[in-house]
């Protein structure tokens, strides 16, 4: 308990992420089988891998929504398993997360969604919160929808509102689950640039899941491929592109023929 | 596997599931209670829940109560006439409503209405990852979602029960006096003569317990929802069935305890 509080009160929030030998099963379904992944502070990591291989599960481990069956998740030197429940909530203030399905609060308006963290954790006037929400929405290419309800938005708009909510508190670590899925090519580029900018200018550490290789190359410092519950290879975009591993070659070129079994 | 072994196996698993569920609910009740005393206090959420649990249930509660009071007068009149005790109809209606039927019927109705609504709402939030999103925004979902509903249930059920008691007694009076021809003055005197504050308060304590059960169980079931619309449906049904069972079971024990 005291340990947890001390580490929260004196945060050296540079944003380093380490997964050490993480295992996770759901019943008999062994999703993660010894995942090792280190994301350096300020680095933009992209995780690729087949559908249903456990990429979203990895993100949920990093932010402590899921606990590993075995192995450790260490953020800025702090093992999440050593935090009390209360400290874990406190610890999450350094994170922002975009969910694959956006996960907007459907009882709140768009701007209330974006400003949710501000309202909960900062003492700001309503005007200030609205202003920040508006700025963040502009960053993701949305304006004039502040008072709308999430149910009235398109899929791609929801995704971008989710993104605005994830970055609203200027977190040190941002987890993006398929940020450009469902967006048109131009909007995808806008979002890719936003993500790169935040890594470059604000020294944010990010982990991005994407199926969009163009997006992966544009935002990644490093790319990691998840395959059969393990990280098959990690490398710079060039290294991955030039990898001689046939699994990686098949995946990044999107070929149905190859060592990856389609079932 | 032999049939007997499989039966034991199934039974064992049922018992384990049941115990796990009771344990999970107990833990949620405990956490929700802790957060009552820990800031930030979410008055806006609380008032919203008081409105939807309390105000929204008034019409059905009143209709149920008035007809229950009416039938109670009719039935006890018919029965009591056999030994010339028609004069006690007012007493029976008043005691039955305040001690038993007011709180229990209100509890069952609110379980069906507000309990289902809570489980469906939280279940939807769970399967669309809104509950996880709350946690990633460093807000404890129990504190944000469960505690306001829990407090609203504990506060509003007694309030609804007071309405229910009153209207039930009025319904009984109407039938006794207008339909069965009882003397209005005598009826009223018999209504109040044997009714003690203790009867009323005991009923309200039961109602508060039922309110806590409904909110706690429904939140728990909502949080357990998995796998889309079907899972939400299952959670909703489960919330209503389990809260109604627990209301009827706890009703006996609270009554025995207060006696
Ligand atoms: N809460 C859960 N309960 C049970 N199984 C789960 C749960 N979460 C994920 N899984 C299972 O874990 C596996 C990996 O899921 P995950 O969502 O991480 O896939 P993914 O790699 O993100 O896929 P996609 O690219 O399609 O989003 C899936 O088979 C899924 O069924
Ligand atoms: Mg996913």
pLDDT per position as a tens digit, A39-96: 999 999 999 999 999 999 999 999 999 999 999 999 999 999 999 999 999 999 999 9
C-alpha of residue A53 to centroid of ligand 2, in Å: 8
The mean per-residue pLDDT over the stretch A199-221 comes to 92
- pTM of the prediction? 0.90
Alpha helices in chain B (DSSP H): 3-36, 43-53, 58-81, 89-96, 102-110, 116-127, 130-136, 141, 147-174, 184-193, 197-224, 228-258
User: How many CB atoms lie under 10 A from the CB of residue B185?
Assistant: 9
Residue B94 has pLDDT above 80, yes or no: yes
Residue A10 has pLDDT above 60, yes or no: no
Cβ–Cβ below 8 Å for A99 and B132:
yes
Relative to beta strand A17-26, strand A29-39 is antiparallel
pLDDT band, residue A263 (cuts 50/70/90): low
> How far out from the chain centre does Cα A131 lie?
25
- Contact in structure between A219 and A199 (CB atoms under 8 Å): yes
Spans of all domains in chain B: 3-258
Q: Which of A16, A21, A15 is nearest to A231 (CA)?
A: A21
pLDDT of residue B40: 84
Share of chain A above pLDDT 90, in %: 83
- Contact in structure between B133 and A99 (CB atoms under 8 Å): yes
* A239 Cβ under 8 Å from any chain B Cβ: no
The mean per-residue pLDDT over the stretch B42-66 comes to 93
Nearest CA in chain B to A165: B137
Cα–Cα distance, B43 to B148 (Å, whole number) = 8
Cα–Cα distance, B224 to B232 (Å, whole number) = 9
Residue B240 has pLDDT above 70, yes or no: yes
Residue A237 has pLDDT above 50, yes or no: yes
Q: Which of A194, A1, A183 is nearest to A90 (CA)?
A: A1
- The beta-carbon neighbor of B138 closest among A65, A89, A101 is A89
Residue A6 has pLDDT above 50, yes or no: no
Using DSSP, state whether B39 is helix, strand or coil: coil
Considering only CA atoms, which residue is closest to atom 1 of ligand 1? Answer: A26
Spans of all domains in chain A: 42-59+87-253
Residue B167 has pLDDT above 90, yes or no: yes
pLDDT of residue A123: 83
- Contact in structure between A12 and A76 (CB atoms under 8 Å): yes
pLDDT of residue A5: 42
Q: Which residue has the higher pLDDT, B87 or A165?
A: A165
pLDDT band, residue A7 (cuts 50/70/90): very low
- Contact in structure between A15 and A44 (CB atoms under 8 Å): no
pLDDT of residue B5: 87
Express each pLDDT in B169-224 by its tens digit.
999 999 999 999 889 999 999 988 888 999 999 999 999 999 999 999 999 999 99
pLDDT of residue B1: 62
Class of domain A42-59+87-253: alpha beta
> How far out from the chain centre does Cα A109 lie?
23
Share of chain B above pLDDT 70, in %: 100
Candidates B138, B145, B149, B226, partner chain A, best to mutate (most A CBs within 10 A): B138
The mean per-residue pLDDT over the stretch A129-158 comes to 94
């Amino acid at each position: 308990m005291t340990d947890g509080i001390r580490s929260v009160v004196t945060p050296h929030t540079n944003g380093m992420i380490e997964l050490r030998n993480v295992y996770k099963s759901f019943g008999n379904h062994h999703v993660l089988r010894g995942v090792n992944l280190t994301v350096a502070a300020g680095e933009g990591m992209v995780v690729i891998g087949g559908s249903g291989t456990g990429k979203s599960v990895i993100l949920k481990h990093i932010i402590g929504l899921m606990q590993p069956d075995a192995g450790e998740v260490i953020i800025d030197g702090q093992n999440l398993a050593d935090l009390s429940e209360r400290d874990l909530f406190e610890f999450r203030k350094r994170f922002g997360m975009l969910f694959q399905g956006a996960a907007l609060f459907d009882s709140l308006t768009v701007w209330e969604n974006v400003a949710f963290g501000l309202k909960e954790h900062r003492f700001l006037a309503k005007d200030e919160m609205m202003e920040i929400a508006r700025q963040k929405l502009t960053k993701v290419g949305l304006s004039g929808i502040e008072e709308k309800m999430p149910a009235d938005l398109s899929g791609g708009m929801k995704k971008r509102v989710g993104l605005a909510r994830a970055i609203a508190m200027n977190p040190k670590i941002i987890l993006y689950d398929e940020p450009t899925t469902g967006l048109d090519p131009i909007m995808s580029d806008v979002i890719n640039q936003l993500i790169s900018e935040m890594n470059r200018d604000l020294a944010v550490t990010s982990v991005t899941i994407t199926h969009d290789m163009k997006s992966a190359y544009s935002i990644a410092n490093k790319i990691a491929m998840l395959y059969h519950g393990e990280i098959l290879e990690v490398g710079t975009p060039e290294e991955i592109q030039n990898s001689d591993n046939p699994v990686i070659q098949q995946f990044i070129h999107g070929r149905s023929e190859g060592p990856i079994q389609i079932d | 596997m032999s049939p007997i072994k499989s039966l034991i196996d199934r039974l064992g698993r049922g018992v384990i599931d049941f115990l796990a569920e009771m344990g999970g609910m107990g833990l949620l009740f405990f956490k929700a209670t802790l957060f009552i005393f820990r800031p930030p206090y979410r008055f806006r959420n609380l008032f919203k829940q008081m409105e939807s649990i309390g105000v929204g249930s008034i019409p059905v509660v009143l209709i149920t109560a008035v007809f229950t009071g009416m039938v109670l007068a009719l039935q006890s009149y018919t029965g009591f006439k056999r030994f010339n005790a028609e004069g006690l109809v007012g007493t029976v209606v008043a005691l039955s409503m305040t001690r038993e039927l007011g709180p229990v019927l209100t509890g069952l109705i609110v379980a069906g209405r507000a309990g289902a609504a809570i489980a469906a709402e939280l279940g939807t939030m769970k399967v669309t990852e809104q509950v996880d999103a709350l946690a990633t925004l460093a807000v404890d979902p129990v504190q944000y979602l469960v505690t306001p509903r829990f407090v609203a249930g504990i506060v509003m059920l007694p309030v609804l029960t007071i309405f229910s008691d009153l209207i039930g007694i009025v319904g009984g009076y109407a039938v006794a006096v207008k339909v069965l021809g009882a003397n209005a003055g005598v009826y009223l005197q018999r209504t109040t003569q044997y009714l003690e504050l203790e009867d009323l308060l005991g009923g309200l304590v039961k109602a508060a317990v039922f309110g806590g059960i409904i909110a706690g169980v429904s939140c728990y079931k909502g949080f357990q929802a998995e796998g889309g619309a079907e899972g939400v449906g299952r959670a909703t049904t489960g919330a209503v069935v389990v809260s109604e069972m627990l209301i009827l079971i706890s009703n006996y024990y609270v009554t025995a305890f207060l006696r």
